[in-house]
Amino acid sequence: MEFQDPLVNVLLFFFIVAISVLGTLLFERWREKRREERLNKLVKSFTPPLPSGVKLEGGAVEGLELLAEGYRKVGEYQQAIYIYNWLYKEVKKLDYLEKIAHLYFQAGFLKKGEEVCYQILQKQPRRVEALKILMMIEEKLGKWEALKDILESFEVLESKEVEKEKGYLLWKLYKLGKYGEEELRLYGTIPQLVRKFPFLYRSYLQELLQKKPSAGYKLIAQDPYKYLDLYFHRSDIPHQIPFYPVLASKKQIPRKFLLVHHEKLHPIPFHLELLFQLKEPIATLRFEYRCKSCGRKFPFYMEHCPKCGTLFQFTPIWKVEPQESKVPKNFEF
């Protein structure tokens, strides 16, 4: 059986994709639920208090670390902190204090986390992980002078390991109007700062689109699909050749414009080609974001992953979805 109407073919394709995605999501949720149930059984089988003054073998330490991690994953932060605190008293490793500080941060006890970070930094003032955790805490507390001190510590370290943290803090200072003469002297103007820290480019484009749209679009036109999620749903997309495929996919210009200028266009992504096939704008692009570090998905772009704390690790996922208000009422899948 053949479907002659291309609209039917496209909508049938949507239906098949939707069923596949739904099946995958249901399976992933079932698997995640089973994993959490197993972790819950594990953590409930452990009963504190832990004895003090016990000589720990390597296997015992590793087992307790795994147990604490199990508590953390199911949100039992108090129990995880209890175990790490006990391990620190017995083994005296600052790694455990860092884990405690991060757990306090995750649980929302920012002052407690701050105290633990300063406890670590009193022993090792240039300890990178403690500085990173403290940076997240002080940002939440709005202590921007403290963040400037952390930035100075990152500068002293001169390590590639903290490049993203340095760039992030400088960008935040700029956004807050605190990027002053000292920062200009050390890092230059904002365009110069972005060239020094290329991972800031997306944030810079977003800022330009808000304040100077024409300047933002001029930069985006060099690679119009890389940052499509920044402007696809805006109403001020320029009627310029690099943006013709986007405008045509939204039915804002005729598709014949693409044929006339095809030699000047970047290769058109599949998702936009799919939207071209529709005679009416009954579908659109939606975007979600996956953290490349922890794999979690979020509906909005964020510079700081709220789950794992890594910086500038979000990558956009394009999704063609129906616009319910535009689908004909008499249409049935």
Using one digit for the tens of pLDDT, what is the confidence trace for 184-226? 998 999 999 999 999 999 999 999 999 999 999 999 999 999 9
Does position 169 have pLDDT exceeding 70, yes or no?
Answer: yes
Residue 14 has pLDDT above 90, yes or no: no
Short-list 136, 135, 138, CA closest to 154: 135
Q: Is the pLDDT of residue 3 over 60?
A: no
CA 283 to chain centre: 26
pTM assigned to the model: 0.77
Decide: 80 and 72 in contact? Cβ < 8 Å. Answer: yes
Let me know: does 218 contact 185? Beta carbons within 8 Å.
no
Give percent of the chain with pLDDT exceeding 90. Answer: 57
Domain boundaries, the chain: 1-36, 202-326
DSSP SS3 for 283: strand
Q: What is the mean pLDDT of the chain?
A: 85
